[in-house]
Amino acid sequence: MTFPATEICLSCHRMAAKDKPAIMDLQEFSKSGQRIPWLRVYAITPGVSWSHRVHLDAGMQCETCHGDMKQIETVAETKAIVAMATCIGCHQAVATSTKCVTCHAWPTDQVLGFD
Ligand code: HEC
Ligand code: HEC
Ligand code: HEC
Ligand code: HEC
């Protein structure tokens, strides 16, 4: 996913909640041209092949993996979204590939005999 430009936030936040400290920070970032210092909550292990695009193209909803974000006040790691078992569990359920090379570039298939 890409991050929205600060200007997009401000299309609402010039008015919405404009007296809240976080929104005053947001206006500061816009004025000074500084990037919003986003914090990473869910991060995929480096080297694992992952893309939102293939999943969204397959017709999946955000909620399927992330849960109902509308109900969440502060994002925290509450779901095992980035765990291998989560990935493989769904890939099995929808009968898409669970071969190691689907998600890992290392060529263990031959070396270790996994399929
Ligand atoms: C479509 C309008 C809209 C857009 C676009 C939008 N927001 Fe909001 N945002 C809201 C509304 C409405 C609230 C709730 C305000 C309230 O609780 O009074 C809110 C609440 C917030 C709050 C909580 C403020 C507080 O302390 O209660 C933060 C932080 C925030 N938005 C940041 C952002 C950021 C960052 C972006 C851009 C990535 C963004 N918003 C884009 C409408 C929007
Ligand atoms: C198939 C599962 C899946 C679906 C569907 C999905 N995501 Fe994700 N999302 C992930 C995984 C895995 C990560 C962690 C890896 C990454 O950063 O791309 C993630 C990370 C993110 C992040 C970064 C959050 C953070 O913690 O820093 C955002 C924002 C996000 N997703 C938004 C969305 C939105 C919006 C949709 C719907 C349009 C969506 N996702 C659909 C699995 C999914
Ligand atoms: C809720 C179900 C679900 C979850 C969870 C999920 N996937 Fe998928 N994944 C799919 C579907 C559906 C496709 C598309 C299959 C197709 O188009 O043939 C897909 C496709 C992929 C592809 C492309 C495969 C190809 O052959 O091009 C990769 C890579 C992938 N997923 C990696 C992951 C990883 C890594 C995770 C965990 C972080 C994950 N997926 C979690 C359902 C899921
Ligand atoms: C659908 C995607 C997917 C498939 C298929 C998959 N993995 Fe993974 N694998 C992951 C993800 C995501 C992680 C990172 C998990 C974490 O950080 O908790 C991971 C982590 C690992 C790790 C931990 C070491 C590392 O690289 O960080 C090993 C070992 C591993 N996988 C082996 C395998 C083997 C062997 C297969 C084939 C039998 C396989 N995986 C198939 C997604 C997958």
Nearest to 24 by CA among 14, 34, 11, 38: 14
pLDDT digits (tens, 9 = 90+) for 59-113: 999 999 998 888 988 888 888 999 999 999 999 999 999 999 999 987 554 555 5
User: How close is the Cα of 47 to the center of ligand 2, in Å?
Assistant: 17
Phi-psi map region of 3: left, alpha, beta (phi>0 left; psi -120 to 50 alpha): beta
Q: What pLDDT does residue 74 have?
A: 83
Q: How far is the CA of 87 from the centre of ligand 3 (A)?
A: 7
Q: Which pLDDT score is estimated for 107?
A: 57
Say what the pLDDT of residue 112 is. Answer: 53
* Cβ(51)–Cβ(103) below 8 Å: no
Name the pLDDT band for 114 (thresholds 50, 70, 90).
low
Nearest alpha carbon to residue 86 among 107, 115, 78: 78
In angstroms, what CA-CA distances link 41 with 17, 56, 82, 94? 24, 20, 11, 27
User: pLDDT tens-digit profile of 16-67?
Assistant: 999 999 999 999 999 999 999 988 899 899 889 999 999 999 999 999 999 8
Please tell me the predicted confidence (pLDDT) of residue 1. 73
74 Cα to the center of ligand 3, angstroms? 27
Can you give the pLDDT at residue 8?
A: 95
Q: Mean pLDDT over residues 10-19, rounded?
A: 95
Please tell me if the CB atom of residue 105 comes closer than 6 angstroms to any atom of ligand 1: no
Q: CA 77, CA 45: separation in Å to the nearest integer?
A: 15
